[in-house]
Structure 1
């Protein structure tokens, strides 16, 4: 068994899958527990990775985990606890951007807000709380939360960023607004600060990682995102790997982005 046990949620697609690939490409060897809400999709992703990296010394294992389902989280914990006994790195990657569902008429406004927080903040907290005992079995425990550049309060008046610009006068407002997503990710930043405090004396290094504006399914139409300047998710994945491998150990308890520390 590898000395580097990584459990990452929401890893069968998007940034999560690219992060797994980045770890596989590393000179280090990992056992990567690839979490997916659907075990079939997680297994499919693992098969894809084995075909793409046939000579890798790292091991990738599919794990079913739905962070909106406490029973699913507990079952994942029981399975990992009995088979591996520890987790060295826990990456809370699973997330959702649901604001557009309101504009499309597929969710009510309350459903958008409640589920945004349930996935992006509450689910990450419950999963972390459940898996904390396995982190404490590690000699070098690391805890990561994947946040967003839209979550910073300090830069929320930077009008060079499209999502900070005011919509035109009148009602209803533009469908480009993403308040539920932004608020839930700002909440995640505070959640990270709480876990930094809670696990400090246990030696757990904790961060948020802000991977940048990426062309993933989280943000909708991929081609439209690329036209708006979205980056390849590989860029964000390599940043996550850098944090996992010690590149930001001097910035524990902060939000890390490509150009340094993201202001609060």
Structure 2
């Protein structure tokens, strides 16, 4: 009997990550799910919540503490995962942050906010991936996923239905909904995904970036504000990400995928 696949999900205790965990836990397949987050108590609380919703699941949930902003935290998490599991079959880089509203509110300086946006969404994800690569390459079915944003493609900037693309009135300073640091960092992540696809092609690692759509999560302005702007149900997006993990989008490996197709390349 084959062993359950081991899935490590960063930022798994909240938002989209939490919905992905719940979707996987409901799957007919049995998984060993490593739920990783910055706060161990919050991770354990999330695990208890998921287990309580579906007590008959065949999958297993385990906690892992990691803060992708700090190398030492990533190394410590790697050492723990290596000792306890010896491999990771699917690494899902979900942890991220939208910090632009903090700068708009005067809670972060512009340089601090831009640097932090890239450190969390791109640099931290890169270091997390490269550190855990030996465990991923120990798998017989390795898969690597990055959660990106629907606002991150250049082609997508022409869609004026999105609030982030609308032209603000003339004058300075500008007002209105805007997340330039976040979407720029996610654009960088898309290229990072392509580089991992290139580097791991001969190792047989399937790599994607997944664009889940605009969701009513706590990201950025918060759940209620995002919902008022037309954000979708994160549970639906969690189920979609599960389909990528389970092989339904294998024909689109190396691309940025969304529920209804592939995101334009430019």
Q: Which residue of 2 aligns with 1:105?
A: 106
Residues 8 and 33 in structure 1, CA contact (< 8 A), matched pair in contact too? yes
Q: How much has 1:190 moved relative to structure 2?
A: 0.2
CA–CA distance in structure 2, aligned partners of residues 159 and 152 of structure 1: 14
What secondary structure, in the 3-state scheme, does the structure 2 residue paired with 1:247 have? Answer: coil
Matches for 1:77-226 after TM superposition, within 5 Å: 77-226=78-227
Partner of 1:21: 22
3-state SS of paired residue (2:175): coil
Structure 1 residue 22: Cα displacement = 0.3
Q: CA deviation at 1:224?
A: 2.3
Partner of 2:123: helix, strand, or coil? helix
Q: How many residues align?
A: 264
Alignment of 1:47-66 (within 5 A): 47-66=48-67
Deviations 1:128-168 (A, max 9, x none): 00011101111110000000000011121221222111101
Q: TM-score, normalised by structure 2?
A: 0.97
Corresponding residue SS for 2:35: strand
Superposed displacement of residue 227, structure 1: 2.0
Instruction: Give the Cα–Cα distance (whole angstroms) in 2 for the partners of residues 244 and 164 of structure 1.
Output: 31
Check conservation: 1:99, 1:181, Cα contact below 8 A.
Answer: yes
**SS in structure 2 at match of 1:199:** helix
RMSD: 1.0
Equivalent-residue separation in structure 2 for 1:186 and 1:201 (angstroms): 25
Distance 2:51 2:26 in 1: 12
**What SS does structure 2 have at the residue aligned with 1:129?**
helix
1:103·1:175 contact (CA, 8 Å) conserved in 2?
A: no
- Please state how far the C-alpha of 1:226 moved relative to its aligned partner: 1.4
Structure 1: unaligned runs, 5 residues or longer: none
Which digits, 9 at most, give the CA deviation of each residue in 1:213-263, with x for residues without a partner? 100001323222212211110121111101000011000000010110011
2: CA distance, partners of 1:105 / 1:9:
29
SS at match of 2:225: helix
**Residues 34 and 62, structure 1, Cα contact 8 Å, conserved in 2:** yes
Cα shift at 1:175 = 4.1
- Alignment deviations for residues 33-90 of structure 1 (CA, whole Å, 9 cap, x no partner): 0001011111111111121111111000010000001111011110110110000000
Aligned equivalents of 2:215 and 2:92: distance in 1? 18
SS in 2 for 1:42: helix
Shift >3 Å, 4+ stretches: none
